[in-house]
Amino acid sequence: MADHQDMITYVAVGKDVEDCKSILSWAIENNVGGSRICIIHVHKPAKLFPLVRSLMTERRKVRERLETGRQSMHAIMKDYFLFCQQKGVQAQTQTIEMGSIREGILKLISKYGIRKLVIGSTSANHYK
C-alpha cells in the first residue's frame, strides 16, 4: 500500500501566476497515478531599508508593508487553487515565509516529507 506522501505531488510555484500556470499544467497532465496536488510557495518578504527603529510611524509602515505582501501571497495561492479546480483537480496549498527561496523549499521538503516535487522554470519556453 502506498504511503500518504506517495499520494501527493507537490508543485513549487512563484509569484507570477501566468508564468507558473505552465508548471502547474505540466504537473496535472503528467500526474501519474492520479495523486493529489499540493501547491507550495515560498514567500520572500520585501527587504526594508533603512529602518528607523525609534519612530512608531516607521514601525507601522513596515508592518503594513509586510502584511500587504502576505495578502498578495494569499491572493496568488487562491488563483493557483482555482486554476486546479477549473482543471478538475483536487488541490491544497502550503506556504512558508523565508528570506531564501531555496531554504524555504528545503524546509517544506523536510516538514512535509515531500517525495514527489515539481519545480519548473519561470519561462514557458523551457517546456517546449
Homologous superfamily in CATH for domain 4-122 = HUPs (3.40.50.620)
- Domain spans of the chain? 4-122
Beta pairing partners, 97: 43
Measure the CA–CA gap between 86 and 21, rounded to whole angstroms: 12
- In this predicted structure, what is the pLDDT of residue 120? 82
| Phi, psi angles (nearest 5°) of residue 36 | -70, 160
Give yes or no for a contact between 93 and 77, defined as CB atoms under 8 angstroms apart: yes
The average confidence (pLDDT) of the chain is: 83
Give yes or no for a contact between 69 and 45, defined as CB atoms under 8 angstroms apart: yes
The yes-or-no verdict on residue 77 having pLDDT over 70 is yes
Q: Cα 111 from chain centroid?
A: 15
Q: pLDDT digit string (tens) for 86-126?
A: 998 989 999 999 989 999 999 999 999 999 999 986 554 44
Measure the CA–CA gap between 56 and 54, rounded to whole angstroms: 6
- In this predicted structure, what is the pLDDT of residue 1? 42
Measure the CA–CA gap between 88 and 41, rounded to whole angstroms: 21
> If you average pLDDT over residues 70-89, what whole number do you get?
92
